[in-house]
Structure 1
Amino acid sequence: MKIRLAAFALLVAASVHAEDRKVITHEDLWLMPRVGAPVTSPDGKYAAFNVSEPSYKKDESATHLWLVATDGSAPARRLTASKTAESGVAWSPDSKRIAFAAKRFDDKVAQVWILDLAQGGEAIRATSLSTGASEPEFSPDGKRLLFTSHVYTEAKDDKDNQRIAKEHEERKYKAHVYTGFPIRNFDKWIEDDKRPHVFVQTIGANDARDLLAGSALAKLPGYSAPDENAGSTWAPDGRSVVFVASRNRDRAAWQFTNADLFQVSADGGEPKRLTGADALEAGDSYGKPRFSADGRTLYAAVTPQTGETYNAARLAVIDWPGGKPRGRIELPNRLSLGGFAPAPDSRNVYLTAEDAGQEKLYRAANGAKEARLVGSPAHGTWANLSGGVKSPVLVAQYESATEPPEIVRLDTSGKMQKLTNFSGERTAKLDLVPVEHFAFTNARGQRIDSMLVRPPHFDATKKYPLLVVMHGGPFSQWRDQWVLRWNYHLLAAPGYVVLLTNYVGSTGYGEAFSQAIQGDPLKGPGDDINAAADEAIKKYTFIDASRQCAAGASYGGHLSNWMQATTTRYRCLVSHAGLVNLEAQWGTSDTIYGREVGNGGPVWEQGEVWREQNPIRYAAKFRTPALVSVGERDFRVPVNNALEYWSALQRQRVESKLIVFPDENHWVLNAENSKFWYAEVQAWLARWLKDEKPKGS
């Protein structure tokens, strides 16, 4: 009740001075400072984070490293001046130095740099590998660095890496050659002859040691890191390293893959597997290893393997140095773990998880089976949780649909104190109304939550068109957060009510709710979205039911195309990076096996889903005008699906428009491309929604 009253109060307060505020523009959205995730110093006194200063001119964009006192005693101050971004920020154990990865001066690849905060001055380059360095971490005694570098599988040392790289550069041909899966990831062809290895180097010396060189693990065909930020960390005694690696990536075409935790000596050698079985069949998947302050507990995120396309992440608790599992901590209703921070007392751990459009703070003792809710913001989300090792300080990123991300301090009861204010002055000038939540029960007995955004300068006596926006994933959710690519308020700016529904399959409502999409990838979610629109029209009398359009990207684009196949309720549709042919998507995407499981079996078996929930099979019914857009470098939903959809629309003489971005991937990331895309979307919506009568009537 308190949260609802707070949200209502915010809505009233926002409407009081709405007439004095301006409508958000693309410039307002794009040029807003972008605050990154915080990293808390071990003593808990400071948090380091990146702030990007975007520009429409690529050469004028910049990202800098900032520092803020966690007690709020002083405003944040900038630490770096280089235009190149810093990443992988790490603190030394004494909280006096910061390490980060960046390309500076004549660097061809990113290297690790160290900035001494106590002595001041410029950052000093710490590594010089030809293959670069990332994800640094100081050793417990502060004398060495742990980092990751992607090296050639056949290389014995850095000279070998340089030799092989030179041979590649001198080739007279250009070709990608593979003998196994996968071969692509989002917008990049995977370099099949390079793999991530963990290195250790003494600070101030040129003695970088590849800890996996010559190991049987690194020679496995399926060896890799599951993603760029899988994680590695020093063991508490500084004698070994714990890291994350996959052994079965090469099996991705016919089974789920997973990652395990491994331990390797700081001198190198054959790694010891800490989790999983000897077999290469898919097992539970681990990541983000981190030790408790006393060094007696190893924590890691773990996602069980059950044969489902979705499983919620838990927190694994492992005894150290024995390596024996103590148990797993779950979130209530089997929500999925977001982030975690061990408490300095070494007895508790703080966690965050998505929950009904927010991300909230939880706490659990080491022996607990389930975490308990500590608190949540009145609206918005807390994410990217970070804590001090020696002091009980929690720092996080806070944002809402009306507030871009800022750095905040959380106390152990969930009370929030803002530490930065990079965007407050700018957003105060904009007419941004907080989102409103409502829910209903669908025909299958499931609770379906939605958020509604009113247009600027709202007048309750007027009637407004409805824009239904469908999120991607599907294993994600619309959250009360600041969004760049589908900003709620920018979409509402011309005078539309925006509806954001967390359909079945969305995260933040428990594991079972997310899993319920398996075997029903489009119809169930589509029914929920249409039912939510009906519920909104019934609940909010200012919505004009005769003027509705729907839009989405990625999985939301799939759903937009499903609406094309199954309903004529919408005057127009917008589809970005959406599939129209399940079968073509299976064969050309960078991931395939999960689609097979989700759709009930291989394509060639032609089960019900492949036949009955494939939009292209309903092309004879295509009637709704559609704006179709796609990035030519998109390997997740390759351009062929957009072209096939476009061809069907043209064949059926459906009024439509196709936009292909040659230099974009799954998302529209370039500033000018984004501005153009938003303008095209708004023009398309205006064409079909502004008139009281549909076009051609």
Structure 2
Amino acid sequence: MRLICATCFLFATAASLQAAERRVITHEDLWLMPRVGAPVISPDGKHVVFPLSEPSYKKEEQVADLWLVPSDGSQPPRRFTSVKGTESDPAWSDDSRRLAFSAKRGDDKENQIYIIDMDRAGEAQRTTRISTGAAAPQFSPDGSHILFTSSVHATALNDADSERLDKEEKDRKFKARTYTSYPIRDWDKWIDGKQTHLFVQKVGAQDARDLLAGTALVKLPGFALAKGSARWTPDGKAIVFAASRNRNRAAFSFINDDLWMVSITGGEPRRLTGNEALDGGDSWSSPRYSHDGRHLFAIVEPRTDKVYNARRVAMLDWPSMRDAGRIHLPDGREITDFAISPDGKSVEMLGEDVGQVKLYRAPLRAGEASLVGAPERGMYSNLEIGGSRSPVRIAAYQSATEPPEIVRLHADGRGFQRLTTFASAKAAALDLPAVENFWFSNQRGQRIHNMIVRPPAFDPAKKYPLLVLMHGGPYSQWQDAWVLRWNYHLLGADGYVVLLTNYVGSTSQGEAFAQAIQGDPLKGPADDINQAADEAITRYAFIDGSRQCAAGASYGGHLANWLQGTTTHYRCLISHAGLVNLETQWGTSDNSYEREISSGGPVWQQGAVWREQNPIRLAAHFKTPVLVSFGENDFRVPLNNGLEYWTALQRQQVEGKLIIFPDENHWIMSGENSRYYYDQVRDWLRHYLIPDAQGGNTSPAAAKAQ
């Protein structure tokens, strides 16, 4: 009853606010909004556990606990853990009576695995004591053992070895990193000689066994365990996991993960997929078993001559590993998650489709899945299915106007029941116009999907500047989603129409549409961006076409830098983590071979893309004022690209501002840095899009745009 009343109050509040004036979103609204994590449903389908973060600008004041809610919504969520520190990776036992999670408590130096009995009152009990820390717990089918992962020295045979090697490393008088193969960095970390291994120990004991220590597999220079990929076999005698054995070949070959199996008593892992060749084949991930144990399902990404290939769900008979076929989505749309129905009748999937993520379903046979349903707006993520006779479907739901919350999906897929409303009331107080969709055909005859977001306090009689946002990837899509790092409403809060285009190369319309970017990495997508801006101005009379700026991060930053050299269409640009030189990006990024394939061959052959689609070669045409920003610890788009861009801008005497975040990586993750960045973006846009702000703008590029 409490939940029903709370829900009624929420929607009554929302209704009343429709008549009153809602306020404009601020960074504090965005950053301090409670953040619901991925739900995990109990096997019996009765309860859902999920992490909830209560952010703060001060790290020491942030709270992150586990919460519990009945899957039928009969009671409101309740805080399940409340000690200092962060709990993560919740996992149920098969009988739904115990819950394991990873946390650092008391005198723990690293995260350990804790277990709590749901039927008894009391605190969770620590079950691991390993010096290297423990994460991602899983109960064995009979509940007697726990599986977890830990990052250990590659040569360590046991925990005592790990402690010894850690001490030797700390006691060294020199500091140096030495490598004999590729890669040497990953996102924001130097590869340091440690590996993630699988451990199993009996619940109540403290004799964790490293299942991979000393094996020939981990001695391969290309070994890397895929995060979150391990699963118990149905009989509880072995672990199936995904791992690479060819990561060291990433400079000259596609790489992939195969499925492997290792006994819990130890021994050499056995490869279940792929062949003896080390050159990359299909890549496997996310193994999961049917509830009767007769089938193994996994995500498989086919290997072709294309960089991007849409993921499928593979079905394999167990334990024979006979290929029973693959399930795909219509038009090769991207599968983002999947779950197996407890009744054994179907596989259910979440898949991308023109700005949304929808629910699909397929019977247990190869072929195309069918669309079951989609929310009226927004998207689903983190699909979970529990129960037996009557499957219970749980997911996270969000839209551009609604922060993520936990929901129970209706069986027909045509709606949902809200189980949490942590952020909903806060968001309801804000002026957040819903996204609107429109389409056009580009110059190559491809249909291009777009979304626009109107500014707060919208008045159709007024004229508004246009802010063109370009998404990263490129193999991703703009979604009707609540975005923390690039929030549509916060960016448009000063009175801008925000345009979001799913240019060619996006995953919004399936495999062929995404693959069409190969060999045309910048020009084609940028042409779509420019045409989309023109189309929006033509379609919407309230857009002032004389006042436009374009902004992007990561691949969106690449596009911003391409626009710098190819058009004076925009009064200003914003580029975060954007490459300016294809050649130096190829040589310094942590991911090079796929860039080479996308560009038609190695850099020294100087094919057309290297010569014609490299922004730095167009520096003679740089004119547009630009805000440039980088994280100093970004190894995906290293800082050298920012410095090179800045030098070219200064050489050409282009107005600009360069911001370097010493403690950030590819993204701006800390609260105060994020607030500062949004403030800088706000001031930059005001200067070029609002004539009376800060004395107006007299730059040559702006004058030309006027």
Name the residue aligned to 1:537.
537
Of 383, 386, 395, the match for 1:385: 383
Contact 1:552 1:560 in 2 (8 A): yes
Tell me, in whole angstroms, the C-alpha distance in 2 between the residues paired with 1:120 and 1:245: 40
Contact 1:14 1:431 in 2 (8 A): no
Contact 1:571 1:694 in 2 (8 A): no
Tell me, in whole angstroms, the C-alpha distance in 2 between the residues paired with 1:253 and 1:107: 39
Aligned 1:558-573 pairs, distance under 5 A: 558-573=558-573
Tell me, in whole angstroms, the C-alpha distance in 2 between the residues paired with 1:302 and 1:672: 40
Name the residue aligned to 1:3.
none
1:261 equivalenced with 2:259 (yes/no): yes
Name the residue aligned to 1:499.
499
1:589 equivalenced with 2:592 (yes/no): no
Tell me, in whole angstroms, the C-alpha distance in 1 between the residues paired with 2:375 and 2:335: 18
Per-residue CA distance 1:330-360 (angstroms, 9 max, x = gap): 0111111111110011121111011110000
Give the AA of the match of 1:285.
S
- Name the Cα RMSD after superposition: 1.5
1:406 equivalenced with 2:439 (yes/no): no
Per-residue CA distance 1:555-575 (angstroms, 9 max, x = gap): 000000001010001000000
Contact 2:141 2:234 in 1 (8 A): yes
Name the SS of the counterpart of 1:404 in structure 2.
strand
Name the residue aligned to 2:8.
none
Name the residue aligned to 1:181.
182
Of 270, 274, 277, the match for 1:276: 274
Aligned 1:579-618 pairs, distance under 5 A: 579-618=579-618
Name the SS of the counterpart of 1:514 in structure 2.
helix
Tell me, in whole angstroms, the C-alpha distance in 2 between the residues paired with 1:225 and 1:618: 42
1:146 equivalenced with 2:147 (yes/no): yes
Name the SS of the counterpart of 1:17 in structure 2.
helix
Per-residue CA distance 1:222-248 (angstroms, 9 max, x = gap): 11124x33x111111111111111110
Tell me, in whole angstroms, the C-alpha distance in 1 between the residues paired with 2:498 and 2:121: 49
Segment drifting more, 171-180 vs 83-92: 83-92
Tell me, in whole angstroms, the C-alpha distance in 2 between the residues paired with 1:592 and 1:505: 19
Contact 1:471 1:555 in 2 (8 A): yes
1:464 equivalenced with 2:464 (yes/no): yes
Name the residue aligned to 2:33.
32
Tell me, in whole angstroms, the C-alpha distance in 1 between the residues paired with 2:85 and 2:448: 43
1:396 equivalenced with 2:389 (yes/no): no
Check 1:16–1:51 CA distance in 2 against 1; reply closer, same or farther (3 A cut): closer
Contact 1:401 1:483 in 2 (8 A): yes
Of 319, 322, 325, the match for 1:324: 322
Tell me, in whole angstroms, the C-alpha distance in 1 between the residues paired with 2:211 and 2:465: 60
1:643 equivalenced with 2:646 (yes/no): no
Name the SS of the counterpart of 2:224 in structure 1.
coil
Name the SS of the counterpart of 2:225 in structure 1.
coil
Name the SS of the counterpart of 2:368 in structure 1.
coil
Tell me, in whole angstroms, the C-alpha distance in 1 between the residues paired with 2:498 and 2:19: 18
Tell me, in whole angstroms, the C-alpha distance in 2 between the residues paired with 1:324 and 1:198: 26
CA shift, 1:210, in A, is: 1.3
1:288 equivalenced with 2:289 (yes/no): no
Contact 2:502 2:508 in 1 (8 A): no
Tell me, in whole angstroms, the C-alpha distance in 1 between the residues paired with 2:565 and 2:188: 29
CA shift, 1:318, in A, is: 0.7
CA shift, 1:14, in A, is: 9.1
Tell me, in whole angstroms, the C-alpha distance in 2 between the residues paired with 1:419 and 1:16: 22
CA shift, 1:281, in A, is: 1.1
Give the AA of the match of 1:195.
Q
Give the AA of the match of 1:84.
G
Name the residue aligned to 2:342.
344
CA shift, 1:307, in A, is: 2.1
Give the AA of the match of 2:125.
I
Q: Which runs of 5+ in 2 are unaligned?
A: 1-10
Segment drifting more, 498-507 vs 686-695: 686-695
Aligned 1:89-100 pairs, distance under 5 A: 89-100=90-101
Contact 2:46 2:387 in 1 (8 A): no
Name the SS of the counterpart of 1:629 in structure 2.
strand
Tell me, in whole angstroms, the C-alpha distance in 1 between the residues paired with 2:261 and 2:225: 14
Contact 1:14 1:432 in 2 (8 A): no
Contact 2:17 2:429 in 1 (8 A): no
Per-residue CA distance 1:188-246 (angstroms, 9 max, x = gap): 11122x212211110001121111222211211111124x33x1111111111111111
CA shift, 1:589, in A, is: 0.5
Tell me, in whole angstroms, the C-alpha distance in 1 between the residues paired with 2:331 and 2:557: 29
Name the residue aligned to 1:223.
223
Tell me, in whole angstroms, the C-alpha distance in 2 between the residues paired with 1:245 and 1:400: 34
Give the AA of the match of 2:135.
S
Tell me, in whole angstroms, the C-alpha distance in 2 between the residues paired with 1:321 and 1:88: 28
Contact 1:52 1:63 in 2 (8 A): yes
Contact 2:40 2:50 in 1 (8 A): yes
Contact 1:385 1:394 in 2 (8 A): yes
Name the residue aligned to 2:43.
42
Per-residue CA distance 1:539-587 (angstroms, 9 max, x = gap): 0000000000000000000000001010001000000000000001011
Segment drifting more, 549-558 vs 320-329: 320-329
Tell me, in whole angstroms, the C-alpha distance in 2 between the residues paired with 1:98 and 1:185: 32
CA shift, 1:50, in A, is: 0.5
1:109 equivalenced with 2:85 (yes/no): no
Tell me, in whole angstroms, the C-alpha distance in 1 between the residues paired with 2:178 and 2:295: 43
Name the residue aligned to 2:698.
695
Tell me, in whole angstroms, the C-alpha distance in 1 between the residues paired with 2:630 and 2:158: 42
Name the SS of the counterpart of 1:611 in structure 2.
helix
Give the AA of the match of 2:417.
Q
Contact 1:18 1:456 in 2 (8 A): no
Tell me, in whole angstroms, the C-alpha distance in 1 between the residues paired with 2:298 and 2:407: 24
CA shift, 1:466, in A, is: 0.2
CA shift, 1:380, in A, is: 0.3
Name the residue aligned to 2:63.
62
Tell me, in whole angstroms, the C-alpha distance in 2 between the residues paired with 1:111 and 1:509: 43
CA shift, 1:389, in A, is: 5.2
Tell me, in whole angstroms, the C-alpha distance in 1 between the residues paired with 2:138 and 2:599: 42
Contact 1:374 1:412 in 2 (8 A): no
Name the residue aligned to 1:209.
209
TM-score with structure 2 length normalisation? Answer: 0.95
Contact 1:97 1:115 in 2 (8 A): yes
Give the AA of the match of 1:411.
H
Name the SS of the counterpart of 1:547 in structure 2.
strand
1:309 equivalenced with 2:307 (yes/no): yes
Contact 1:476 1:506 in 2 (8 A): yes
Tell me, in whole angstroms, the C-alpha distance in 1 between the residues paired with 2:35 and 2:218: 38
CA shift, 1:694, in A, is: 5.7
TM-score with structure 1 length normalisation? Answer: 0.96
Tell me, in whole angstroms, the C-alpha distance in 1 between the residues paired with 2:214 and 2:394: 41
Tell me, in whole angstroms, the C-alpha distance in 1 between the residues paired with 2:563 and 2:145: 57
Give the AA of the match of 2:140.
S
Name the residue aligned to 1:84.
85
Tell me, in whole angstroms, the C-alpha distance in 1 between the residues paired with 2:461 and 2:554: 36
1:191 equivalenced with 2:189 (yes/no): no
Per-residue CA distance 1:496-534 (angstroms, 9 max, x = gap): 000000111011211011111111010000000001001
CA shift, 1:411, in A, is: 2.3
Segment drifting more, 514-523 vs 208-217: 208-217
Give the AA of the match of 2:397.
Y
Runs of 4 or more off by more than 3 Å in structure 1?
A: 13-19
Tell me, in whole angstroms, the C-alpha distance in 1 between the residues paired with 2:86 and 2:369: 36
Of 232, 256, 264, the match for 2:230: 232
Tell me, in whole angstroms, the C-alpha distance in 2 between the residues paired with 1:683 and 1:185: 33
Tell me, in whole angstroms, the C-alpha distance in 1 between the residues paired with 2:495 and 2:588: 39
Aligned identity (percent) is 62
Name the residue aligned to 1:425.
425
